[in-house]
Structure 1
Amino acid sequence: MVSWISALDRKLLRDLFHMRGQGLAVGAIVACGVAIMVMALGAISSLELSRDTYYDRYRFADVFSNAKRAPERLASEIADIEGVRTVETRISRMVTLDIEGMREPANAQLVSLPENGVPRLNGVLLYSGRFPDPSRPDEAVVSKAFVDAHGFTLGSNVRAIINGRARDLEIVGIGDSPEHVYMLGPSGLLPDEKRFAVFWLSRRALEAAFDLDGAFNNVSVSLSPGANPQGVIDGLDALLAPYGTGGAYGAEDQLSNAFIESEMQQLASIAAIIPPIFLIVSALLINAILARLIATERQQIGLLKAFGFDQREIAWHYVKMALGMVVGGILVGFVLGAALARLMTNLYANSFRFPDMIFRLDPSAFVIGGGSAAIAAIVGAIASARSAANLAPAEAMSPAPPTVYSKGVLQRAFARIHFDEPTRMILRHVTRWPIRAGVTVVGVAAAQALLVGTLFAFDAIDELLEQHFNRTDAYDAAINFVEPMNYSAVREIERLPGVLSVQPNRDVSIRIRHGQLDERVWLVGVDPTGRQRRLLDDNQRFMDMPEHGLALSSQLASMVIAGVGDRVTLEVLEGERPVLDAPVTGIVNEAMGWPAFMDVDALGDLLGESDVVSGVYAMIDPDKEAAFSEAVLARPGIASVALQRASIESFNETMEENINIMMTIYALSGGAIAAAVVYNAARISLTERGRELASLRVLGFTEGEVSYILIGELGLLVFLALPLGGLLGMGLAYLVASSMATELFRIPVTIDPSTHGMAATIVVVSSIAAALFVRQRVKTLDLIAVLKTRE
């Protein structure tokens, strides 16, 4: 025996070895909790480092704005705004693409490059090739995802429809930009590399194409250290106001960057909500294990105190035992969490266009994960450790007082019902140890709740798609014009092949104020007679477009703290820029973004214009979709076309892999909790009832009857836990949905019965597996040895 190990520590090692099964079960729960925390925090760290490195290296701007046509001389005045460090003016315009072999048009954003090809802000990372020659207007650098999706190479030609004329643009370079890390096309929910691209052309080429010689329609600025972003935004708005600006905005509202921030916010919510469930269950199990162990070690505790070990040493011994149960789980959680974090990082590499998706595990992730698990173990052990420390030596040396058996209310009720003896033994044991039974029920319910509270996300996605594609946005094609046009453009769209019906819309950028709060949003004017774009209330019922005033999306209403009946101030950020008060007449259940809505005619009156529209929602005959697409490409005033069918296909392709991976992780995690809880309950029950079960075997009970007593009790507790777990899971789903909601989208809380069924099935199967594993111990009971054992 190694002399430097104390007697208590040798006892600790022996006890941990004898309880290795229960310790492994607790460790598995801890490993899952720590792994999810390390995964989430590690993914946040990787995203943050990848973003910051890319932004810094390629000079991502701090403030953005646009205009219809602003003179280039304005750049020097913008540079004079207090806090502005660098100014980059450019030309940017959305166009359609005619891709050979595609049924529908693709969309591209054309962005100008300076003469030397190197922008001062929002630089272009050139993977291969070169920048366009200013003397060759049909050369372009094209975003890498689009090139890869279509198998294009340097020298390939892509046909773009610019001002209604087809131009073959030659790919001379393949690149990306920090401005387009998340490449979301018009009306898209997820990046679609086949149907949306960014083309960088020479400034000279775009000036000629869009009659912007000596002018710009887009500007980005970077800020000096310590500058006030809002002051720069206000100054930029003032300078661009005469030139049709849509309003300046900071980097936090830039679409690509906002999606990255949203993803990191959701990962932080996962780290804050999911791991504590595992750690709470592990604390409950540790408490139950140690309570039973201390009850069987009373005489040993008495001997230890008689030999001079004080209360602090006794208490610390059992706390160390708890820590010994979780230390292996913590280490496994570190390894598993690192692997999952790398998996998540690889998945993000498919969604976020970073040149290098840098994998980094912040040491704080391990400190937080391991520290939380250790604290949970200490909390679980402290009550049992205190009771062991407080045992007086004389009391501890005496056997524990026998359990007082008396008939309670439940037992008297059961007495009136005829049960066989094994069933009576099950009911009697559960009712005489209600706290222990309650711990098992709560643990299994936690597993059920975790599964319901995470798997519901897939039901939410289905509901989101149903709401977005079939109810609120029930059109087949969204057509956006280059600039607001006369209503005659709607008549032209109506006459296109395959068009069944249309609904015009007018979108305008506004700043909405209520009290001290204000937000820059899109005010969407919709024709109330149409059925392609509709509004839903909080009860998922269609609501009429308000004839007067405006309807706010629920997210926007919460952002400016406004409700029905309140009056808000609207500052239009284009045209004559009128400012007026308007009543809020409705709240809209809008899952995507935070727009405001108004009757299109009322919006026209507000803007002082008549029969002007920004675009059209159209219903298309599926058999004539190809003819419609061909006709759309010939219209010079159309900036982009998005087909819902293509959006749905892209969404399903992108989400399928992610859904399967996350469902597997959640199913294994929930199953681990259920199996560990049931296994520990079974082992504790087998330990304290070993003599009883062996006696029954000697008296003639069959192996199946004895196993039924043990497993039947577990089955009863699992049965009681399932409905409680379902209710807790619904509460967890609401908590997850509310914590993961961002300004970009909200997660609807909808739980399909099949999700409850799947969660229950995973819990039951895991419980059965754990119970059958313990049943093998019943089959191998050494009857003579067990009967000789002293309680």
Structure 2
Amino acid sequence: MVSPLDRKLLRDLWRMKLQSFAIALVIAVGVLLLVMMDGLVNSLAQTRDAYYDRYRLAEVFAPVKRAPDHLLDRIAAIPGVSAVEGRVVGGALVDVEGQTVQVRARAVSLPEFREPRLNAVYLAEGRRLDPRRLDEILLLQGFADAHGLEPGDSLTATMNGARHTFRIAGLAQAPEFLYSTAPGELAPDDSRFAVLWMNEEALAAAFDLDGAFNEALVSLDRGASEPAVIDALDRLLDPYGVTGAYGLEDQISNRFIHEEISGLRASSRSVPPVFMGVAAFLLYIVISRMIESERTQIGLLKAFGYTSAEIGAHYLKFILVISVGGALLGCGLGVMSGHALSGLYQQYYKFPFLIFRVDPSAFITAIVVSVASASAGGFIVLRRIFALAPAAAMRPPAPADFSSSARLVAALRRFLDQPSRMIVRRIARQPMRSFAASIGIAVGMGLSVAMLGVLGGFDKAVELNFNVIDRSDANVSFVEPLGEKTIYELKRLDGIIEVEPFRSVPVVLRNGVKSHRGALDGLTEDAELNRAMRDETHQVYARKDGIVLSKPLAAKLDIGPGELVTVDVREGRRPVLTLPVVAVSQSLLGAPAYFELSALNESLEEPGRVSGAWLRIDPAKQQDVYEALKNMPAVAGVSLKDEARDALQRMMDEGAGATRYYMAIIAAIITFGIVYNSARIAFAERAHDLASLRVLGFTKSEASYVLLGELGLITLAALPMGAFIGTGLAGAIAAGFSTDLYTIPAQVGFSNVGSGALAVLIAALIAGWLVKRDVDRLELVSALKSRE
């Protein structure tokens, strides 16, 4: 049998169905974000770990110039090593039909008559390599799909200066190429980077490595010390030109996926609480004001014998229906959104499969937080009302002293008509309630402004990197550091307007216990095509007396100008340098370090060496320049700035960066929910007053004006506060999106604030229109009756 209180609960839910749904929707979008991001983190991390384990990804990589195969037995004997695989790897340039610039590729050997012990490949289509056919290859599936290649097709590639024609036996993926990007670039582009797996004998012959290897792969025993194994590898391989062994955390593909997961995990800890906090604040206002408005009903229930516990349970049920309903809706929407986004992630991280999985604790956390935030406001108000005797609770609260507001309204009498004075009087008499409603709207606007600022930050990162920092048209990299003669040859090419050489050296930067494996870039003192910048207008010039660190790198090493950094060079003679930090530059992509070119070569005892050059090209002669570069054997690859920019923009719009669009939509929904709930609360509180005005002769429009005018003033007052709140939130949310690989600046400008304000005003107009319909339909007799 349904109790009287339960019947009242059903009536209240139906009476406040629109407002209840709006509150539930605010809860739902906060839960959606929490569940979606938790699921993405779990899915990426668990799928990565399973993929690595199933296909035996190495834990230590040891690139070397040339080492004889018999050393593999000595590597296997190093304490802590469980398995070893030697292989041949090298760079290649692939000819693609319809493209003048060759596509850079990595060639990797596979054993002829067995599965590799480490770094196995997943065959997606076709068959394995035939040991008897040295012209067969397995091709990276993403590259094949981008160019319409299938098993049985032919492919031409240049390796070690010689052109070869291969037949594609199958299409493959591998855990070491989850994130496949061209050397020196950050954004993946399937059409511009390829991986060729070949029979070991064929690849060794192409790079003159018969009976030798140039990369050792190592897996470790459980509990083994990775640093100790790396040191032993470096000592053993030192006579053979080792460039420095490194662990899986520094492997390029794994580093990208690790940073993405870490960034998502950081965002899931910092961003959802912002949205949930806004939802909690809104619910506090709504629930507390609703219970306050039912003060007399609570007193009447107590007079009829209901205990405080029974009445509290009644209101708790009301809260639970809304909060649990919203949380369950958010869980469902979060799973759906996570599934959609996991498909986008799979476009950029080449998993053979990606199963979206949410930790059950995320559902429990979402529901508990939703119920707790919804209950907080109700319990605070209920405790105050339950302290009253039934007779006192049934009486309206003692009227406040409104004498000050009367003087204010009298002063405005000559300027305002009667309805306008009623609006001002209402706000002046209850300033804290009006301020709380204004703060709620301001927080909603702040969310919209912050997300618009983050959206603008992604675009700003692309603009600054490719228009301010990089002002070249293309860059060429050489197969090995060459002399300055190569630069003169480039300058003589018809169509090249400007050439700016650079040197890039693999290094490990150390400051105490903190370290970073990356590159030290040698720039000319007067660099113009690729620059280090302090901000958008001030250039930081490379100097001979020390190095310039990018801001993310300086933060990672916890170092600043005037301090010394250890530079462990992993190329050539492999010197260990101690250099002062002379400046910190802005960097939105990567974590570079800069040194003056001639000073870098002098430190390496290799004067006049360059790794490549930045080029400015005559647009009318681009094709001729690319053809000439294609025929230069010293060129290892050509990267076009426009293509790199497009790839990065696609990644931000369609891949990992797409989560920001979801949060922008969520911010808009919360903003509307806050404005609509403020309007509904005001209507519920003033229904009796509005009906009285209608009886006294006010028209429907005049009565609506009294209510909506108050909403309008509260909304307008919220706009400057929303701009201030949005600026602060933008920095926090942008920091959650940023990683060691890229930095997203918060770009809150007049356009963002204006767009956020416009969104609030549109939400206010829609909410006002919905509430006006209720005012017009107001039944005067029912509204004027005392509900008790």
1:640 is matched with 637
Alignment of 1:420-439 (within 5 A): 420-439=417-436
Task: Give runs of ≥4 in structure 1 deviating > 6 Å.
Answer: none
Amino acid at match of 1:430: I
- Within the alignment, does 1:294 sit opposite 2:262 as a pair? no
CA–CA separation in structure 1 for the residues paired with 2:708 and 2:285: 18
1:735/1:278 Cα in 2 relative to 1: closer, same or farther (>3 Å)? closer
1:503 is matched with 500
1:208 is matched with 205
CA–CA separation in structure 2 for the residues paired with 1:738 and 1:540: 23
Identify which of 7, 14, 18 aligns with 1:17. Answer: 14
- Deviation sequence 1:425-453 (CA, Å, 0-9, x none): 11221222222222222222222121222
Q: Which moved more, 1:462-471 or 1:69-78?
A: 69-78
Q: Which moved more, 1:599-608 or 1:675-684?
A: 675-684
Alignment identity in percent? 41
CA–CA separation in structure 2 for the residues paired with 1:46 and 1:662: 15
Does the CA-based 8 Å contact 1:537-1:589 persist in structure 2? yes
Aligned residues: 788
Deviation at 1:654, TM superposition (A): 4.6
Identify which of 138, 141, 159 aligns with 2:138. Answer: 141
2:373 is matched with 376
1:491 is matched with 488
Amino acid at match of 2:144: V
1:231 is matched with 228
- Within the alignment, does 1:161 sit opposite 2:158 as a pair? yes
- Deviation sequence 1:726-751 (CA, Å, 0-9, x none): 22111111112223322111112223
Give unpaired runs (5+ residues) of structure 1: none
1:98/1:558 Cα in 2 relative to 1: closer, same or farther (>3 Å)? same
Amino acid at match of 2:168: I
Amino acid at match of 1:753: F
2:786 is matched with 789
Deviation at 1:558, TM superposition (A): 1.3
SS of 2:156's equivalent?
Answer: strand
2:464 is matched with 467
SS of 2:191's equivalent?
Answer: coil
CA–CA separation in structure 2 for the residues paired with 1:416 and 1:600: 76
Identify which of 719, 724, 728 aligns with 1:727. Answer: 724
1:219 is matched with 216
Deviation at 1:212, TM superposition (A): 1.4
1:44 is matched with 41
Deviation at 1:493, TM superposition (A): 2.4
CA–CA separation in structure 2 for the residues paired with 1:258 and 1:493: 34
1:339 is matched with 336
- Within the alignment, does 1:555 sit opposite 2:564 as a pair? no
2:123 is matched with 126
1:549/1:295 Cα in 2 relative to 1: closer, same or farther (>3 Å)? closer
Alignment of 1:206-605 (within 5 A): 206-408=203-405, 411=408, 415=412, 418-538=415-535, 540-605=537-602
Amino acid at match of 2:694: R
CA–CA separation in structure 2 for the residues paired with 1:144 and 1:658: 18
1:463/1:398 Cα in 2 relative to 1: closer, same or farther (>3 Å)? closer
SS of 2:404's equivalent?
Answer: coil
SS of 1:546's equivalent?
Answer: coil
Deviation at 1:466, TM superposition (A): 1.7
SS of 1:693's equivalent?
Answer: helix
Q: Which moved more, 1:47-56 or 1:335-344?
A: 47-56
Identify which of 149, 154, 175 aligns with 1:152. Answer: 149
- Deviation sequence 1:328-387 (CA, Å, 0-9, x none): 111111111111010011111111111112222322221222222122112232211212
Give unpaired runs (5+ residues) of structure 2: none
- Within the alignment, does 1:83 sit opposite 2:80 as a pair? yes
CA–CA separation in structure 2 for the residues paired with 1:518 and 1:187: 20
Amino acid at match of 2:97: E
Amino acid at match of 2:16: M
Deviation at 1:656, TM superposition (A): 4.2
Alignment of 1:69-80 (within 5 A): 69-80=66-77
Identify which of 103, 106, 120 aligns with 1:106. Answer: 103
CA–CA separation in structure 2 for the residues paired with 1:35 and 1:120: 43
Q: Which moved more, 1:741-750 or 1:344-353?
A: 741-750
CA–CA separation in structure 1 for the residues paired with 2:753 and 2:215: 51
Does the CA-based 8 Å contact 2:284-2:373 persist in structure 1? no
Deviation at 1:40, TM superposition (A): 0.8
- Deviation sequence 1:655-698 (CA, Å, 0-9, x none): 44459965653443223222222222222222222222222222
Q: Which moved more, 1:39-48 or 1:25-34?
A: 39-48
CA–CA separation in structure 1 for the residues paired with 2:240 and 2:417: 88
CA–CA separation in structure 1 for the residues paired with 2:512 and 2:660: 44
- Within the alignment, does 1:710 sit opposite 2:707 as a pair? yes
Amino acid at match of 2:507: I
Amino acid at match of 2:634: G
Q: Which moved more, 1:161-170 or 1:333-342?
A: 161-170
Does the CA-based 8 Å contact 1:295-1:400 persist in structure 2? no
Q: Which moved more, 1:523-532 or 1:397-406?
A: 397-406
TM-score (structure 1 length as normaliser): 0.95
Deviation at 1:164, TM superposition (A): 2.8
TM-score (structure 2 length as normaliser): 0.95
Alignment of 1:551-700 (within 5 A): 551-657=548-654, 665-700=662-697
Amino acid at match of 2:732: L
Does the CA-based 8 Å contact 2:250-2:517 persist in structure 1? no
